[in-house]
Structure 1
Amino acid sequence: MSKITETFDSAGVKSASQADFAKVESAERKGPKLAQEDLMGDERNLDTILGIPVNIQVVLGSATMLVANLLKLGRGAVIPLNHRVGEPVDIVVNGRVVARGEVVVVEDDNSRFGVSLTEIISAQNSLLDA
């Protein structure tokens, strides 16, 4: 049985609890084979995460202009974007580019646009863009 000592930081917060040590000791006793209840708990946690909604945006392009020019815009004005026709658009999830694709017309309803994915951005590359 290991000895448990409590340490406190300058704010008086305990750095480790007996429960933390019990979890470590329990994991050491189990070894590489996980208990069935641990796997079930992981699945429930994953189900919770998979149920979280995320905001997806398709960025057709962007533009920069002076406030004076912005105030001159009226109905029918065209704002040129930095992307050209046919270039891939960015698919952004919660502020991070995760994929690129081509704008398409949705077959079921010709009045809506969609995006056909052409490239999935790896998590490593996405982190470099942030």
Structure 2
Amino acid sequence: MSDTKQQAPQAAGAEFPEIEGDGAAVFDAAPQAEAPKGGRNIEAMLNVGLDVQIVLGHAKMPIAQLLKLGRGSVIELDKRIGEPVDVMINDRLVARGDLVKLGENRIGVSLTDIVKDYVSEE
């Protein structure tokens, strides 16, 4: 049996806790939230990032037409100017709203309708 110690490989870009002189890892204390009676701890999920998309409209076209697109090409969408846009979270429709101007060069969405199927009924 050999007395040589092998070091475990480290993942590229991984962050590791600081190690004290005696080899003990030091972690910042995580805030303790009491779990609700149902056993679900919603507090742990409040900072999870979700992919939110604002959909102006859709278009279908054959591949041949798609391959002909270039700079300056116009794609006609299935919605008219002034119709509400769709607010999607993780590819699921959750709300609709109107486009609004924010400041000089930004746009946003003013929510006008929350999709009933998305809201959980408690």
Residue number in structure 2 paired with 1:112:
106
Q: Would you tell me which structure has more helix in proportion to its own residues? A: 1
Residue number in structure 1 paired with 2:99:
103
TM-score when scaled to structure 2? 0.63
Q: Would you tell me which structure has more strand in proportion to its own residues? A: 2
Deviation at 1:40, TM superposition (A): 1.9
Name the count of aligned residue pairs. 86
Q: Percent identity?
A: 48
RMSD: 2.4
> d(CA) in 1 for partners of 2:79 and 2:119?
21
1:28-81 deviation digits (Å, cap 9, x = unpaired): xxxxxxxxxxx9222981111112111100000010011111111111010000
Superposed structure 1 runs of 4+ greater than 2 Å apart: 123-126
1:48–1:95 CA distance, 2 compared to 1 (3 A):
same
> d(CA) in 2 for partners of 1:53 and 1:112?
22
TM-score when scaled to structure 1? 0.60
1:67-110 deviation digits (Å, cap 9, x = unpaired): 11111111101000001100001000111100000011113xx2
- More displaced, 116-125 or 76-85? 116-125
Gaps of 5+ in 2: 1-32
Is this contact kept in 1: 2:94–2:118, CA < 8 A? no
> d(CA) in 2 for partners of 1:82 and 1:59?
11
Gaps of 5+ in 1: 1-38
